[in-house]
Amino acid sequence: MINQKRTVFYLSDRTGITAETLGHSLLTQFDGIEWETVNVPFLDDIEKAHCVTRQINEIAGREGHKPLVFSTLLNPEILEVIKQANCRVFDFFEAFICPIEEELHLPFARMAGRSHGLQHHLSYFKRIAAVNYVLAHDDGVNPKNFDEADIVLIGVSRSGKTPTCLYLGLQYGIAAANYPLTQDDMQVMQLPKVLQNSRAKLFGLTLSAAQLHFIRQERRPNSAYASLVQCQREIQWQEWLFHQFNVPYLDTTRISIEEISATILNRCGLRRQLYG
């Protein structure tokens, strides 16, 4: 139930990804509020800061509540301008950098964009290579190259393989391929031959028949492909297959792509290849 509406600002002198990610994670712990989000990346001069301050003050006056401001601004002069506005500022660097400096006995670099920039070229290009691998090995394409994969996801059509592979590549630098289990595979009741040499890398994705039916209805309404009976048959068969050939698998019915990916890494012993 929504009890109130509030505005939250995410301010950064670069992309704002860090401020938004951390701020959003904190706000999800509070129920009954509908958040109006204002993202302000590349806030890198005083004039822009004064414009944002006026915007904050206007919203505070209209709504009768102080907007929340999550900041990763590094320029103290710009941050000071923002603090003069009618808002509540939560500055992530202010909260954490000083204690870290004290512990490490080192000053922080005060350089913007290090989390998502190109300072670490090898890490960046590892991400690009992983995403390219995912795109080139989606939906069973180029199975002869599955030996180069870190992991191969398998499951029936629309079980979430492609978005999970993309997330693994983009966020973790994991070379993830995927292979769709088909009607032909069901008839022979065997693991597809093209997967035989990748047994150690296989991981299955399953979900409830009702959820699969809902997803397929969006794609092909009222088709045999989307029927609940067909979805039940395919889910029952693929879970039999996973058990028969000792393929680890995960029921994704009620979990997000982020949770699916983290669970796969944890269960398969894979490590994040990059940060940023």
- What pTM does this model have? 0.73
Nearest to 54 by CA among 67, 71, 42, 36: 67
CA–CA gap between residue 93 and residue 42 (Å, rounded) = 16
Amino acid identity of residue 203, one-letter, is: F
Look at residue 274 in the predicted model and tell me its pLDDT.
59
Look at residue 18 in the predicted model and tell me its pLDDT.
85
Look at residue 15 in the predicted model and tell me its pLDDT.
85
Confidence of residue 115 (pLDDT cuts 50, 70, 90): low
Does residue 270 carry a pLDDT above 60? yes
Lowest mean pLDDT among 13-22, 41-50, 78-87: 13-22
Integer CA distances (angstroms), 12 to 3, 15, 49, 180, 275, in order: 29, 7, 11, 41, 19
Look at residue 276 in the predicted model and tell me its pLDDT.
47
Over residues 211-229, the mean pLDDT reads 96
Higher local confidence (pLDDT), 52 or 186: 52
Look at residue 102 in the predicted model and tell me its pLDDT.
86
Return the half-sphere exposure (C-beta side, CA atoms, 13 A cut-off) of residue 45.
Answer: 2
Nearest to 130 by CA among 159, 160, 156, 151: 151
Lowest mean pLDDT among 46-50, 51-55, 123-127, 221-225: 123-127
Higher local confidence (pLDDT), 273 or 136: 136
Does residue 112 carry a pLDDT above 70? no
